[in-house]
């Protein structure tokens, strides 16, 4: 029997989900002492356009994004990513490692700040862009004022800016959660659920309609249950609602100056598409794009939804992280056209129509 202690930074590889070539992982420690697992992958082209900082949603891990990391590196981007505190391969915040807990979203902002200073800025090629999903998008927006002059573009899929239940129900829920925290129930789970929606079938899943990716993610949960969570706690949900409220503040929105593309899913059931589009309208540098019929996890969706999203990302980011001049007869162009090319889209996604109902 071996006494060897497993490497906490090690990535989990399963059949059908290979690790991208050249990816390396490690551990950093935040200023408040939390251990975060991170990974960096070099460009797979003969050039590097810059670095994409990939920010996951709640209850996700680096391994779930192996495919996306491979797509981005084939396009010439370096990719840097990490697991938020309390999930993936990073340090848990409660003794019960299945509970997804946070006291304040300031903790997640500390994670991002530490990752930028410890890994991205010293070790990754600039310029830099952010690609964020759901909860990761909320953190990116909260950190937006700090990212000016460091990040060139932000692209967010299905951001967690509001729940889909409407403002009245959300206010009532927030009041109830605050009361529960005051009486000492902040670490209790909101409701018992299987990790990563294991109880869902492909037909009922609000996350993806793609059978292959649905099954791959299910196998990943079965192979590495230690990476994933059950239900969020009362404290996590209360902190999330408090963070979302900040994005309704006009003075805060005015400080969001990094050009940002918010991409929403047409068949969304997890977050509010209307509030996401309204936020993009209110931002001076915001743009919105909707992908009809897609479910919440656009990067885990079927190719007919996922490829337009990646194309929109590349078009929006490409002006700041351009492909360098290449020899038309060389291997680089063949790689882009044959191996890693994406469908063409308008390089500047149109802003949503500014109607009176979207005014602040």
Instruction: List the domain boundaries for the chain.
Output: 24-358
Q: What's the N-to-C CA distance of the chain in angstroms?
A: 64
Q: Region 200-216: what's the mean pLDDT? A: 95
Residue for token pair 């991205």 = 120
- Sole residue written with tokens 């005014």: 359
For domain 24-358, the question of CATH label 3.40.50.1820 is answered with yes
Residues 311-335 have a mean pLDDT of 78
Q: Using omega within 30 degrees of 0 as the cis cutoff, is the peptide bond preceding 72 cis?
A: no
Better-scored residue on pLDDT, 349 or 325: 325
pLDDT band at 330 (very low <50, low <70, confident <90, very high): low
Indicate whether 53 pLDDT > 70: yes
d(C-alpha 272, C-alpha 75), whole Å: 31
Q: What percent of the chain has pLDDT over 70?
A: 87
Separation CA 332–CA 341 (nearest Å): 11
Distance CA 126, CA 110 (A): 21
Least confident range of 160-174, 184-198, 271-285: 184-198
Quick one: pLDDT at residue 198? 56
- In the prediction, which pLDDT does 2 show? 43
Q: How far apart are CA 250 and CA 360, in angstroms?
A: 8
On the 0-12 / 13-18 / 19+ scale of CB atoms within 10 A, 13 is middle
Q: Looking at residues 85-105, what average pLDDT do you find? A: 93
For residue 287, what are its two tokens?
């743009």
Q: Which residue has the higher pLDDT, 337 or 236?
A: 236
Q: How many residues does the chain have?
A: 360
**Sheet hosting strand 35-41, strand order edge to edge:** 24-29, 35-41, 77-82, 50-55, 128-133, 153-157, 260-265, 286-291
Tell me how far CA of residue 123 lies from CA of 51, 257, 344, in angstroms: 10, 25, 31
CB 106 within 8 A of CB 243: no
pLDDT at 340 exceeding the cut of 80: no
Strand partners, 156: 132, 262
- pLDDT score, position 355: 34
CA angle 193, 194, 196 (to 5 degrees): 110
E runs forming strands in the chain: 24-29, 35-41, 50-55, 77-82, 128-133, 153-157, 260-265, 286-291
pLDDT above 80 (res 345): no
> What is residue 304's predicted lDDT score, i.e. its pLDDT?
98
SS3 state at 216 = helix
Mean pLDDT value of segment 49-71: 98
109: its two tokens: 């902002």
How many Å apart are CA 26 and CA 170, to the nearest integer? 38
- Has residue 352 got a pLDDT over 70? no
């Amino acid at each position: 029997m071996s006494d060897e202690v497993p490497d906490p930074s090690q990535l989990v590889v399963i059949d059908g989900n290979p690790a991208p070539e050249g990816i390396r992982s490690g551990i950093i420690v935040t200023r408040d002492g939390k251990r975060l697992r991170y990974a960096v992958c070099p460009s797979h082209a003969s050039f590097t356009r810059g670095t994409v900082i990939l920010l996951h949603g709640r209850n996700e891990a680096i391994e779930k994004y192996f495919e996306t990391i491979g797509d981005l590196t084939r396009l010439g981007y370096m990719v840097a990513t990490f697991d938020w505190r309390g999930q993936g391969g990073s340090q848990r915040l409660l003794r019960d490692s299945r509970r997804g807990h946070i006291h304040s979203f300031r903790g997640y902002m500390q994670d991002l700040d530490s990752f930028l200073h410890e890994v991205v800025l010293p070790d990754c090629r600039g310029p830099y862009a952010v690609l964020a999903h759901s909860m990761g998008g909320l953190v990116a927006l909260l950190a937006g004022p700090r990212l000016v002059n460091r990040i060139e573009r932000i692209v967010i899929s299905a951001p967690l800016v509001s729940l889909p239940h409407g403002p009245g129900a959300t206010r009532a829920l927030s009041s109830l959660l605050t009361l529960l925290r005051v009486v000492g129930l902040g670490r209790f789970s909101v409701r018992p659920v299987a990790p990563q929606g294991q109880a869902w079938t492909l037909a009922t899943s609000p996350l993806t309609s793609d059978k292959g990716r649905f099954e791959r993610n299910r196998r990943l949960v079965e192979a590495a249950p230690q990476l994933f969570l059950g239900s969020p706690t009362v404290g996590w949900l209360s902190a999330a609602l408090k963070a979302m409220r900040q994005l309704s503040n006009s003075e805060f929105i005015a400080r969001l100056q990094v050009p940002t593309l918010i991409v929403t899913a047409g068949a969304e059931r997890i977050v509010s598409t209307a509030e996401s589009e309204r936020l993009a309208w209110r931002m001076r540098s915001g743009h919105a794009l909707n992908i009809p019929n897609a479910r919440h996890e656009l990067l885990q969706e079927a190719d007919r939804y996922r490829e337009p999203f990646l194309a929109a990302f590349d078009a929006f980011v490409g002006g700041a992280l351009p492909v360098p001049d290449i020899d038309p007869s060389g291997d680089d162009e063949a790689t882009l056209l044959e191996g890693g090319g994406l469908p063409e889209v308008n390089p500047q996604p149109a802003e949503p129509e500014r109607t009176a109902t979207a005014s602040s």
